[in-house]
Amino acid sequence: MPRRCSSIAFLLLLVFLAALTATGFSAERPAIPDQVQNTSTIRGVEPPPIDATAESLENRGDGLRAQKLYLDAIDYYQAALVKKPNDAALYNKMGIAELLMQRWPQARKNFERAIKADRDYADAYNNLGVIFYIGKKYGKAIDRYNKAIHLKEDTASYYSNLGAALFSKKDFEKSVIAYSHALQLDPDVFERTSKAGVAAQMAKPEDRAHYDYVVAKLYAKMGVADRSLEYLRRAMEEGYKSIDNVYKDEEFATLRKDPRFTELMTARPQGITD
């Protein structure tokens, strides 16, 4: 059975982790572009009106970004910046558009400009963390995620992103703590990110399998049987070698009494290795 995604696909999907809010990446509104706008000088809409207000230009930029017309959106955000210089939210939105086009250096510059304009802008720190994570600079990503959490500690996606970076550093104990916080704030956080993009960039299939097992354990501990079983299935399909730990890990004690657990473990989805 072919794997659902290659590790390269995981990297590309990560960028859209957790989805876009009006001001930054989070897990609440998934947004993966099906087709990225051509990066040539051709534009798809009329240029920004000279007499438009900063607010109307920004709103138009938001609409264009929602339509995946990222270059046009950037044009409108830049025009809004002329009328509202050094605005942190506009820099952040420009960075998001650049990020969605996989223009990492430009996105990083705009997130850094947003932070310079507003040192307490949590979303910009989180988004800058995404850039460092993509570049596998996990220490820097963790630092930015922690900064975002310090500024706004009630956002599930920040903890989910932090958990992903810690997991990639193989700091599994701290990763589980971060993921647990994310689930406490939003029990659907992993479901959202699984639709919008993998929450962690996995260099090896066995790392992806381990990640799925950890998530299954977290859901089991919360008593969310359906999702725990789903992630156990994924872990087996990815070939998780320590799957028999499910019979002794205390988090699965209740789940082991569920007939669906017995059915799943008896079937052993294709991909499991003995």
- Does position 10 have pLDDT exceeding 70, yes or no? no
Q: Regarding predicted confidence, which is higher, 268 or 158?
A: 158
Lowest mean pLDDT among 70-74, 117-121, 264-268: 264-268
Lowest mean pLDDT among 7-11, 54-58, 198-202: 7-11
* Per-residue pLDDT tens over the stretch 192-244: 654 333 333 455 677 888 888 999 999 999 999 999 999 999 999 988 999 99
Domain limits, the chain = 7-152
Q: Regarding predicted confidence, which is higher, 41 or 237?
A: 237
- The pLDDT assigned to 31 comes to 30
Q: Which of 138, 151, 136, 162 is nearest to 23 (CA)?
A: 151
- The pLDDT assigned to 268 comes to 82
Q: From residue 268, how far is each of 29, 138, 244 by CA, in Å? A: 34, 34, 11
Q: At the fourth CATH level, which superfamily is domain 7-152?
A: Tetratricopeptide repeat domain (1.25.40.10)
Q: At how many degrees (to 10) do helices 189-196 and 156-168 cross?
A: 70
Average pLDDT over residues 15-40: 38
- The pLDDT assigned to 206 comes to 76
- Does position 42 have pLDDT exceeding 90, yes or no? no
What are all long-range contacts of 222-227, with beta carbons under 8 Å and residues at least 24 apart? 222/183, 222/187, 223/254, 224/187, 225/254, 225/255, 225/258, 225/260, 227/190, 227/191
Give the predicted TM-score (pTM) of the model: 0.74
- The pLDDT assigned to 190 comes to 74
Cα separation, 17 vs 157, in Å, equals 8
- The pLDDT assigned to 43 comes to 61
